[in-house]
Amino acid sequence: MHSTLIDNRFLGSLFSTAEMRAVWADTATLARYVDTEVALAVAEGKLGLIPNDAAQAIAAGAHGVQLDMARLEKETHNVGYPILPLVHQVAEGLGAAGKYLHWGATTQDIMDTALVLQIREGLELLEKDLRAVSVQLRRLSKEYRDTPMAGRTHLQHALPTTFGLKCAIWLGMVERNLERLQELRPRVLVGQFAGAGGTLASLGRRGLEVQAAMMQELQLGVPMTTWHTARDGLAETAQWLGLVTMSLGKMAFDVSLMMANEFSEVFEPFVQGRGASSTMPQKRNPISCEVMIGAAKTVRHLAGLALDGAVQDFERATGPWQAEWVAIPEAFLHTAGAVSQAVFMLSGLEVDTVRMTQNLDSTGGLIVAEAVMMGLAPILGRNEAHDVVYAACRTALEQKRTLADVLNSMPEVTKLVSNEQIEHFCDPINYLGTAPQMVDKALALAAR
């Protein structure tokens, strides 16, 4: 029985990926608990806190113990946490060595460290797909570096830009998120081993030694202090996931609008039946974009939940910790779905450059009113040029004429400016500014 969107058999593959679901599956979570228990035992065996032969027996046999899942479920429901029921079963399966399992640890040590192991794996998957997004955006930025299109502010024509620059702007967000990922890893990929009260008192003077050896086994960072109720690392992870999905959501918002019939400038890859309507055969809905936008909204709330859950009491939380059990896995799962959809969308994005040019020209030169004003300013003066062009724009709109045509009918303009100059000022292709050079800069930075 599957009751969540992520696990839904016919919707789940849209909103997440099989690889990320495998990271956060209940069986994977149990395996990471066992990994953590094994690392603790091996570290303690090497340091002589428990017999080394017992530690080796734990390492060799812990993962092979067949768990009674019904019993585990029942006991977890009773205890409230899965570690004690898991330790009971694994210890029973290990025989004499089992009495040394979980030596000096507390439940949260195991659960937190296992969570970090899952986060590490999840981040690796997301990095791989984000780099694939970056590759596609670099390709699009380069290919359409000089392709003019209408830039829009407040959903109206503003100034000309290039589609390559639009893609480069998206690329910048992705590259900054990859940079943030490298920065957060040392802060986040830190294990937890602090004992019942966070002081490692059960191991006497050797607690920190065991802690360091355990983290070496797991290839995790050693915590500066106990973080049982200092959850900033996990909250930072959730915020990063929120930034990733926000960036993809902005990209998807742009593409979905550009797919509208009134724009028809880009389209998601064509796949027979994809985005079809049950009643309107002409429809080609922006499916990938919709998933990405939905993920941005969902993960934003999960990131907020992680922040809320990080406000915890004293040395062990009474409730906020459990909120993380929802926020962190689900944020990873939805982010994976969004990044996967972005790779698919960008790899086959259909770009209609002819329509971009038609849209650019659709206002009859009004989109370059600023260019005309700046061109006339040295001749007429700044204020006079503004007033002349403003009046010309009003006339062009009211009479549905081109801006060049109106300007060519204004004596105060034509006595000082030639027809060729007016046509040059009114051609959007001549007012792209440094858009192509900005693309080059973005590509150079991404290549590093």
Fill in the DSSP letter of residue 269. P
Q: Is 146 left (phi over 0), alpha (psi -120 to 50) or beta?
A: alpha
Spatial distance between the Cα atoms of 57 and 6, rounded to a whole number of angstroms: 38
- Where would I find the beta strands (DSSP E) of 337-441? 350-351
Amino acid at 356: M
Spatial distance between the Cα atoms of 430 and 433, rounded to a whole number of angstroms: 8
Token pair for residue 367?
């989109």
CB atoms within 10 A of CB 227: 18
Spatial distance between the Cα atoms of 122 and 267, rounded to a whole number of angstroms: 30
Amino acid at 93: G
Helix (H/G/I), strand (E/B), else coil: 265: coil
Identified catalytic residue from 202, 277, 362, 418: 277
Asked if 388 contacts 413 with a C-beta cutoff of 8 angstroms, the reply is yes
Q: How far, CA to CA in Å, does 56 sit from each of 21, 87, 102, 104, 144?
A: 31, 17, 14, 18, 59
Fill in the DSSP letter of residue 230. -
Q: Tell me whether residue 277 is one of the annotated catalytic residues.
A: yes
Which helix (H) or strand (E) covers residue 24, if one does? helix 18-24
Which helix (H) or strand (E) covers residue 328, if one does? helix 320-347
Token pair for residue 298?
């969902």
Residue of 53, 73, 69, 72 whose CA lies nearest to 61: 53
Amino acid at 122: G
Q: Tell me whether residue 154 is one of the annotated catalytic residues.
A: yes
Fill in the DSSP letter of residue 136. H
Burial bucket for residue 10 (CB in 10 Å: 0-12, 13-18, 19+): exposed
Spatial distance between the Cα atoms of 362 and 305, rounded to a whole number of angstroms: 46
The set of catalytic residues is: 154, 277
